[in-house]
Amino acid sequence: MVKEILLGVVIAFAIFAALLGINVTPLLFLAGVFLLLNYIIENKGLIPGSKNIIKPESEISFEDIGGQKTAISELKEALDFVINKEKLSKMGIRPIKGILLTGPPGTGKTLLAKAAAKYTNSSFIATSGSEFIEMYAGVGAQRVRNLFETARNLARKENKNSAIIFIDEIDILGAKRGTNESHHEYDQTLNQLLVEMDGIKSDGEINILVIAATNRPDLLDPALLRPGRFDRQVVVDLPDKSGRLQILKIHTKNKPLGEDVNLEAIAENTFGFSGAHLESLCNEAAILAMRDNSDVILQKHFVEAVDKVILGEKSDKKPAEEEIFRVSVHEAGHAIISEIVNPGSVATVTIVPRGKALGFVRQFDKEDTLIYTKEQLEKDIMVALGGTVAELLVLGNRSTGSVNDFEQAVHIAKKMVYTGLSGLGIVSREDVPKEKVNEEVNKIIKEEEEKVQKMLEEKLEHLEEIANILRKEETISGEKLRELISAVKL
């Protein structure tokens, strides 16, 4: 409205000046430049408007979200404060102003925020922390003010008495002040967010609830997390086996499944998958079924989709025969050691190139493990070293194909050092010299490598037999691998 009034004043002044014989060309030029800049700024989002706000395409309820039973329960408890506003007012309870969702990417934080809006019958708008940061001074703070005003206006338009503002990647907007000394725009924007959250009142016409998400809560400014701003922190973690099964059931409801499909087995074989991974898995399985001209999705499509989600699409590049045999020996070494130290742990062994990997041994966990003993970590190191030791025994040398295995072994060994499970005993990560850590890591890996070498020397016939079969068939299931190990006699 202000822009229209100013434009009218400029036009009136230009007409008046022209009647007096004054040259108005420079004035018109400046007015045109002003209008052009205003148009560019608004359309590029430098001054925020409704274009920066994302409204959900469809309503989502908590029943549509799987694998987050604990997070949903905690979130509902916090949202009940919004629903029972009158009761809270009688009891003199201060309303919750903000809820922080933390957890790995793809676990459903955005979906939970959308479901919260439906649960509380609130208007919902979403934005990202990166939308507020610009090189222009004051722009971020103006965007924050506009965001809260837009939420109130949207609630009035939809005849609702509450609105939920969802800010994804809050760690970009709410990073600790002083960490960007050369760019005070970050601090000004965060300050404005703090002011807006402090201004939220329970007796206002429209109640505002801010829900934010991040996978790096350690980066947030302490002022954001104090009581009166983000009062609740809800952890949205990776789903366990039962959670993965629930998610798989949700994402296969609209898909034709074959009679042989065992979703529980798939849930068991997808340890560490997020909800986003599982959605992609179901989608990839459907694509593979369509490529095979199958009317239904079979178990084999899900099994192949698991490898595709982990490693990527099959590579068209075919390695040379010598490389194929080396990869077969390498993966056979991994698989045999895995079966020795963790019987029944191998799901699939393959030398089909996917992404950057020339081969892969996929394992599955019977139970989701949250803590590890020293013995379990030592076994993981042994499995990681199985490939390179197998190459040394069968081919007489090592290759660069073991680089990722070495990185994994070193990572596990360092975990042993820093958690007091090594010969160094309990150490301080900040105070222990890097040279001392490196020496202990080398000692741990050398000891485990000697154990692996003795195991594979005793199973050398197994190793060569399985490597030759793998070279011909390219893929061996865990069941067949165990049959081969039992069948070969020394």
The tokens describing 190, both together, are 């965060």
By CB neighbour count within 10 A (0-12 exposed, 13-18 middle, 19+ buried), where does 310 fall? middle
Q: Is the alpha carbon torsion for 40, 44, 46, 51 positive or negative?
A: positive
Active site residue 169: no
Q: Is 450 helix (H, G, I), strand (E, B) or coil?
A: helix
Out of 284, 331, 448, 449, the active site residue is 331
Question: CA-to-CA distance for 346 and 344, rounded, in angstroms?
Answer: 6
Among 205, 204, 209, smallest CA distance to 229 is for 209
DSSP annotation of 400 reads: G
Question: CA-to-CA distance for 435 and 438, rounded, in angstroms?
Answer: 5
Run of H or E residues at 233: strand 230-235
Among 306, 186, 323, 294, smallest CA distance to 248 is for 306
End-to-end CA distance of the chain: 89
Say if CB 303 and CB 262 are below 8 A apart.
Answer: no
Report the 10 Å Cβ neighbour count for 477: 14
Among 333, 314, 447, smallest CA distance to 399 is for 333
Say if CB 146 and CB 192 are below 8 A apart.
Answer: no
Question: CA-to-CA distance for 248 and 366, rounded, in angstroms?
Answer: 18
Q: In degrees, to the nearest 5, what angle opens at C-alpha 327 toward C-alphas 472 and 345?
A: 85
Say if CB 61 and CB 118 are below 8 A apart.
Answer: yes
Active-site residues, by number, are: 331
